[in-house]
């Protein structure tokens, strides 16, 4: 199975992926985890360019789109047999200066062909404290509204991906201190 694990920054998505990997090792399950962003950064370095996401102009958008497509090809080669699971750690939506970009546009979906989309979610105030590494200060309502918008856009894009592919959308809540429970929820669906 190919399971795409997504979450907006601060939801603890990568932490959950790492816990899944640990639990899978304990249970001697064969799992691979790849990070979409890392593959894109590596590819852009090879081309002597930095990957940046603020106010992308035409040529940069085209460059990013090509990287996304190349990264999808690299990932598709890591897909194993029916008894192996591949977790793709990525974003459903990427907030840039030019607006929200789909982390998994149609051309990527056709190559990666996922069986399930996991949306790791957390409460807006938790997302904000994780982003700013500060658990006491009271947060701005504006910032919370931004998190709510980003979460909604992730859900919308996930559902569009579900219609395109037939794969399911699973919401996994990841409140503070519960990353192992969240990881176990993901692990349940693996082979």
Distances from the Cα of 133 to the Cα of 10, 109, 161, angstroms: 10, 33, 32
Tell me the two tokens of residue 33: 């985890």
The whole-angstrom distance between residue 184's C-alpha and the CA centroid of its chain comes to 17
Stretch touching a second copy by CB under 8 A, among 17-25, 72-80, 91-99, 175-183 = 91-99
Count the residues in the chain: 191
Choice from 38, 156, 175, 176 touching a second copy (CB under 8 A): 156
Q: Is 77 in the site for a second copy (CB under 8 A)?
A: no
Who's near 174: CB < 8 A, 6+ residues apart? 7, 11, 12, 13, 15, 16, 120, 121, 122, 182
The contact mask relative to a second copy for 45-64 (x = CB under 8 A, - = no) is ----------xxxxx-x---
Choice from 11, 90, 151, 165 touching a second copy (CB under 8 A): 165
Stretch touching a second copy by CB under 8 A, among 18-26, 31-39, 128-136, 159-167 = 159-167
Least gap, CB of 133 to a second copy (angstroms)? 28
User: Residue 94: left (phi > 0), alpha (psi -120 to 50), or beta?
Assistant: beta
Q: Is 148 in the site for a second copy (CB under 8 A)?
A: no
Positive or negative: CA dihedral 9, 12, 18, 20? negative
Residue carrying the six token digits 């008894």: 83
Nearer to a second copy, 83 or 138 (CB): 83
Q: Is 104 in the site for a second copy (CB under 8 A)?
A: yes
Choice from 76, 144, 168, 173 touching a second copy (CB under 8 A): 168
Least gap, CB of 136 to a second copy (angstroms)? 28
The whole-angstrom distance between residue 138's C-alpha and the CA centroid of its chain comes to 27
| Site residues for a second copy per CB under 8 A | 1, 55-59, 61, 65, 68, 82, 93, 96, 98-102, 104-107, 109, 115-118, 152-153, 155-157, 159-171, 188-189, 191
């Amino acid at each position: 199975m190919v399971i795409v694990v997504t979450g907006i920054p601060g939801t603890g998505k990568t932490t959950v992926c790492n816990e899944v990997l640990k639990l899978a090792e304990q249970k001697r399950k064969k799992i691979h985890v790849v990070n979409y962003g890392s593959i894109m950064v590596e590819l852009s370095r090879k081309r002597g360019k930095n990957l940046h996401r603020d106010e992308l102009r035409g040529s940069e958008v085209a460059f990013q789109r090509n990287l996304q497509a190349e990264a999808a090809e690299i990932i598709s080669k890591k897909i194993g047999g029916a008894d192996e699971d591949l977790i793709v750690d990525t974003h459903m939506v990427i907030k840039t200066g030019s607006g929200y970009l789909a982390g998994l546009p149609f051309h990527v979906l056709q190559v990666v062909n996922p069986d399930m989309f996991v949306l790791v979610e957390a409460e807006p105030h938790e997302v904000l404290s994780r982003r700013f590494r500060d658990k006491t200060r009271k947060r701005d309502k504006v910032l919370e509204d931004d998190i709510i918008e980003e979460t909604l856009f992730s859900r919308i894009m996930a559902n569009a991906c579900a219609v395109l592919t037939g794969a399911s959308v699973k919401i996994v809540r990841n409140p503070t201190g519960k990353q192992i429970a969240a990881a176990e929820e993901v692990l349940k669906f693996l082979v």
